[in-house]
Structure 1
């Protein structure tokens, strides 16, 4: 959400040479049927923008005015920049509208809603391979940002408890993440006074967390590590199992146990249905918590995230509030209180409607389409993909100094089995090829994004020479353009 500034309407209007409505007749003395919308905002009265009007008007007119202004927005179904889901079936839309007034915080008033919430937590826990005999605990959130903050807070609090028990200071916590981390991970560190140790990414690490640098950044003050299952920049899955092995070895050497929080905002609803990632979930004991966005590949409208801990012992009790509210008693462990309940019902609708087979079909179709687009883009000779889901497992390309002729075409396959390819999100991240830039140096990559936008498609263009853009990419997916920096050292170093 962007910050907005207050506007003083009197000051603004006084600065204008002439107000177009200044000499219009009083709205009550006009014949409203002369105007299109038939209201006081038809023609002569300015539409209020900065202050609530003293007098309102009919709902139909206001609906039309706001609807017209929103025509300036992009079309969600042409938005290839965002992971956020834009379509649900008619029955899901109806279910949402029927329950749009229900508040997920009012457990005593909406017991059926809360029961469905619990079922979703159980379904997601099983999807993420919770071990037999382990009782997972979790909650819906407003999105993955809130979920990540909750996961980070739990790791910080458990670290503080261990330090206090051993008589050690608790004032210098740190957490590890790759330079490709989505801004929500950095927000956690900044908002909750944790040092963010940003591990540089490079072509060799495929623009993700560099496992070879983890060990050098660990110490007794490390509360945990964020491992991203589905980078928002290129769609790559970071190595959860490999990171777990590194931390296992570190614990053997030092006696210090460091947990993993898997940021599965996107990938935690892709990997279970493609089966191509190996171990990444609760089957790894070091994975203490996982989050995902129901409003991404969970296929629900915006406003829904989930976080699951592998057991109650991994969520410190002093983070859980017991509320005596509206006649009942409930437990709360979210950053906010009131939040919509309809999205939880929509998630449950999807689980029952799609089933595992349906989700598997959707995800594999999305990957197939992304691979097809990747191959077509590279076949043009104009572009090289930084994403690797269309290449044979173990073969990577598209980095700085590489063109389509260097080790890319031979990796193109016709097999539709996801196990044959590199794992990742159905994301296509691409840049102009070196050959194209040499032949047409005057063509700027941002122009391609602009031309596509003129046709309604929203595809962002990132400039790697702008270090802050690469190291702090906004949450985005679909198709992307990425320009290489002129002098290659490491992408996204800080």
Structure 2
């Protein structure tokens, strides 16, 4: 067959041949904000999307996120096998539903529920939904006890934004305790001082996102016990263990923060944080059936099956729940302990090395959550925002931010150590920071370095 002359133009409307080099097939204009009139072949569509995503940061070097960025290849494979399973279809996917129930029982046992078999719970899309459900249960319990007036919830100002959303969406007054001096989270005294007959609950955080520290759950419960003795007010506690509820059982077994404290009514965690699953799964467990009002649980005849459900959404993939169960089997208690302790060891080692550099002061060391915050010490010609921007030039994503009221004067950097962030990577981070310090120190003032324009 004769070859076509190079100067010959394609016939009008004729599709490009698949043997053409990939990027010669890219149309001159591809609509980005409207549906294209015609589609592209799959390889080309993939390459275009893939190339644009290269401009994102490297997830493994993102030291801002708590979310899992690495799983074993076998977990990746199992997750891919379950992408098409809808968690809501419990009648059609009964084994996936059973794995969810097993995970709830495992967490209830891990958190020392009085009766593992009778502790209700469910998976969610993440801790934010889990917190919403726990808050709803607290409000409904307060209503059943005859609560009137404007309900309120007491928490530190360091809570995750989902709690302020809960208060806004469900008409609950958020009584936020501000930071003061070196107190960066809720204290027992501050919690009790804001409680009254309309308080539906106190939220205690096991691992503040601002600095990685635990709030004193046991002491908060003891203060509320004393308040009940004085006034008769019986105020439950919800523990927001988005991160810490999957750290403390393994690394701090003697710490009393969970259902061993009778006042703790519910606990949530993020399976996609230190539960070690990719994004898309959270968990909430209640102490017992009495802690979750039955009138919040729906009995739905859905696609042929009778299903009890308490959630804010229906359809979502079963893959994250399945891989959560995989992790529980794969790692067991000892495996989780080794992973979490390794993260803590890397965090404390890294924080110590950063402190030794000279111009930085640690607020926390990573000795609770494997998370630590530090600030620029003394009169330096650079700010934490300059440091964050400088590190970004090397690929590191380290957030810089100010603390909330009443410590908006304090600006810090925060580093989250997750599974997959090795000591080798930590040493590479320190080496890059050392190389950047001369430029930072050579500034005339904060924000003056050439790489600091985006701070």
Structure-to-structure mapping, 1:24-43, within 5 angstroms:
28=13, 36-37=22-23, 39=25, 42-43=26-27
1:330 is aligned to 2:315:
no
What's the Cα RMSD here?
2.6
Structure-to-structure mapping, 1:91-106, within 5 angstroms:
91-106=74-89
Structure-to-structure mapping, 1:76-475, within 5 angstroms:
76-132=59-115, 135-163=118-146, 169=148, 171-205=149-183, 207-275=184-252, 278-389=255-366, 424-434=368-378, 438=379, 440=380, 442-464=381-403
Deviation of 1:371 after TM superposition, in Å, equals 0.7
Describe the shift of the 1:137–1:268 C-alpha distance in structure 2 as closer, same or farther (beyond 3 A): same
Q: Distance in 2 between matches of 1:148 and 1:108?
A: 27
Q: Deviations over 1:243-275 (max 9, x none)?
A: 100111111111111000000000000000012
Question: Contact between 1:183 and 1:474, CA under 8 Å: does it hold in 2?
Answer: no
SS class of match (2:118): coil
Range with bigger deviation, 442-451 or 102-111: 442-451
Q: Distance in 1 between matches of 2:278 and 2:315?
A: 18
Deviation of 1:30 after TM superposition, in Å, equals 7.6
Q: Deviations over 1:444-478 (max 9, x none)?
A: 3211111111111100111348979799x999834
Question: Contact between 2:124 and 2:311, CA under 8 Å: does it hold in 1?
Answer: yes
Deviation of 1:26 after TM superposition, in Å, equals 10
Question: Contact between 2:123 and 2:321, CA under 8 Å: does it hold in 1?
Answer: yes
Describe the shift of the 1:465–1:352 C-alpha distance in structure 2 as closer, same or farther (beyond 3 A): closer
Deviation of 1:65 after TM superposition, in Å, equals 0.3
SS class of match (1:175): strand
Q: Deviations over 1:387-414 (max 9, x none)?
A: 1445xxxxxxxxxxxxxxxxxxxxxxxx
SS class of match (1:28): coil
SS class of match (2:154): strand
Q: Distance in 2 between matches of 1:215 and 1:138?
A: 28
Describe the shift of the 1:38–1:448 C-alpha distance in structure 2 as closer, same or farther (beyond 3 A): same
Question: Contact between 2:155 and 2:191, CA under 8 Å: does it hold in 1?
Answer: no
Q: Distance in 2 between matches of 1:336 and 1:130?
A: 26
Q: Deviations over 1:107-151 (max 9, x none)?
A: 100011111111100001000011247720100000000000000
SS class of match (1:449): helix
SS class of match (1:456): coil
Q: Distance in 2 between matches of 1:28 and 1:338?
A: 41
Describe the shift of the 1:468–1:474 C-alpha distance in structure 2 as closer, same or farther (beyond 3 A): farther
Q: Distance in 2 between matches of 1:446 and 1:26?
A: 57
Q: Deviations over 1:311-337 (max 9, x none)?
A: 111111111111101111101100101
Q: Scaled by the length of structure 1, what TM-score is found?
A: 0.78
Q: Distance in 2 between matches of 1:134 and 1:331?
A: 16
Question: Contact between 2:352 and 2:365, CA under 8 Å: does it hold in 1?
Answer: no
Q: Distance in 2 between matches of 1:151 and 1:239?
A: 20
Q: How many residues are paired up?
A: 410
Question: Contact between 1:103 and 1:338, CA under 8 Å: does it hold in 2?
Answer: yes
SS class of match (1:72): coil
Structure 2 match to 1:411:
none
Q: Distance in 2 between matches of 1:313 and 1:181?
A: 26
- Gaps of at least 5 residues in structure 2 are 1-9, 418-425, 434-455
Deviation of 1:175 after TM superposition, in Å, equals 0.2
Deviation of 1:282 after TM superposition, in Å, equals 0.5
Q: Distance in 2 between matches of 1:132 and 1:118?
A: 14
Q: Distance in 1 between matches of 2:192 and 2:405?
A: 28
Deviation of 1:48 after TM superposition, in Å, equals 1.8
Range with bigger deviation, 142-151 or 459-468: 459-468
Describe the shift of the 1:56–1:477 C-alpha distance in structure 2 as closer, same or farther (beyond 3 A): same
Question: Contact between 1:134 and 1:311, CA under 8 Å: does it hold in 2?
Answer: no
Deviation of 1:202 after TM superposition, in Å, equals 2.5
Structure 1 match to 2:38:
55
SS class of match (1:368): helix
Q: Distance in 2 between matches of 1:341 and 1:469?
A: 41
SS class of match (2:242): coil
Describe the shift of the 1:282–1:253 C-alpha distance in structure 2 as closer, same or farther (beyond 3 A): same
SS class of match (2:179): coil
Q: Distance in 2 between matches of 1:467 and 1:368?
A: 32
Structure 2 match to 1:417:
none
1:64 is aligned to 2:47:
yes
